[in-house]
């Protein structure tokens, strides 16, 4: 028996949410702040891609999925730079 793609997406989102909880409960004690922020943003990016592709059906329109992925990727990168920038001393 194969599961529908929406069910698999839900299971993946559940696992990624559990990973997010594990990362945040570990806090910055185990990771540097930049790595901590990067891990959280990476998990958020992956969850956004799953939601866009499976729940909104953009897997049927690869060009749109690619465009949204680029925009979300650049936004996550901007957030990471803004998160890390105050700690940098030039």
What tokens does 74 get? 């650049």
Q: Tens place of pLDDT for every residue, the chain, 90 residues?
A: 677 888 999 999 999 999 999 888 876 677 787 888 889 999 999 999 999 999 888 889 999 999 999 999 999 999 989 988 887 766
Residue 68: per-residue pLDDT: 94
Q: Check: CB of residue 73 under 8 Å from CB of residue 48.
A: no
Residue 31: per-residue pLDDT: 74
Q: Check: CB of residue 40 under 8 Å from CB of residue 27.
A: no
Residue 47: per-residue pLDDT: 96
Residue 87: per-residue pLDDT: 72
Q: Check: CB of residue 9 under 8 Å from CB of residue 55.
A: yes
Closest CA to 51 of 2, 1, 17, 25: 17
* Residue in the structure block whose two tokens are 């920038």: 85
């Amino acid at each position: 028996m194969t599961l529908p793609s929406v069910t698999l997406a839900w299971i993946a989102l559940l696992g990624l949410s559990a990973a997010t909880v594990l990362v945040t409960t570990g806090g910055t004690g185990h990771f540097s702040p930049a790595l901590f922020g990067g891990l959280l943003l990476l998990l958020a990016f992956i969850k956004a891609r799953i939601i866009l592709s499976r729940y909104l059906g953009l897997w049927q329109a690869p060009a749109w999925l690619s465009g949204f992925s680029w925009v979300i990727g650049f936004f996550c990168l901007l957030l990471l730079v803004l998160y890390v920038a105050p700690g940098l001393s030039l």
